């Protein structure tokens, strides 16, 4: 998991687009920005929702069919964010908030990488939050599960894992076995 941030001034930096939903040809993203907020220092992340379409070349372009500044009296728009999308957005924005609190605005482009130092907290967060866990496995984490199972079968000391499996509910193990 990497987060790349590029400074745009001494007091702001743009983050990577957060894809909230998408198809092969359209997507809804949130474009985060970290800012130094003098009046409210804890409010250091802002951003923009953008609907995009994919060009034939494969590049994503911002899709603008309606200028919100031209809304007339009694006109409005509705943008629904589903619970999983909102959870993903909050989780990612929290990461940007933590980066700002720890490092502030760093000039140039900086890439933050998950390290041994913070991996335990990330694993705990993924395993303790059902929505995040589902999102993790849907976005490719299932391959990690396959790697872990293979690693367990190849290990010299499988008894450590067998003891931990004993802590599981018997019905869960029977369901997995029957599947």
Contact between residue 32 and residue 97 where contact means Cβ atoms under 8 Å apart: no
Three-state DSSP class for residue 48: strand
Residue where the block lists tokens 């940007």: 96
- Euclidean distance between CA atoms 148 and 146, whole angstroms: 5
pLDDT of 73-113, one tens digit each? 888 888 889 998 999 999 899 889 988 988 899 999 998 87
CA distances from 161 to 107, 121, 128, 136, 142 (A): 46, 21, 20, 22, 19
**Model confidence pTM above 0.75:** no
pLDDT of 33-47, one tens digit each? 999 999 999 999 999
């Amino acid at each position: 998991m990497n987060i790349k941030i590029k400074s745009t001034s001494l007091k702001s930096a743009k983050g990577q687009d957060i894809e909230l939903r998408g198809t092969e040809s359209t997507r809804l993203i949130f474009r985060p920005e970290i800012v130094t907020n003098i009046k409210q220092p804890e409010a250091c992340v802002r951003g923009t929702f953008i609907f995009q379409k994919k060009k034939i070349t494969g590049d994503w372009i911002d899709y603008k069919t309606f200028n919100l500044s031209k809304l007339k009296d009694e006109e409005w728009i509705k943008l629904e964010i589903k619970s999983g999308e909102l959870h993903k957005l909050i989780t990612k924005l929290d990461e940007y908030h933590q980066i700002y609190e720890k490092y502030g605005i760093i000039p140039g482009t900086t890439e933050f990488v998950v390290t041994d130092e913070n991996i335990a907290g990330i694993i705990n967060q993924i395993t303790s939050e059902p929505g995040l866990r589902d999102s993790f496995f849907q976005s490719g984490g299932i391959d990690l599960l396959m790697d872990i199972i293979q690693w367990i079968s190849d290990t010299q000391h499988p008894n450590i894992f067998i003891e931990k499996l004993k802590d599981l509910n018997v019905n869960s193990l029977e369901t997995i076995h029957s599947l």
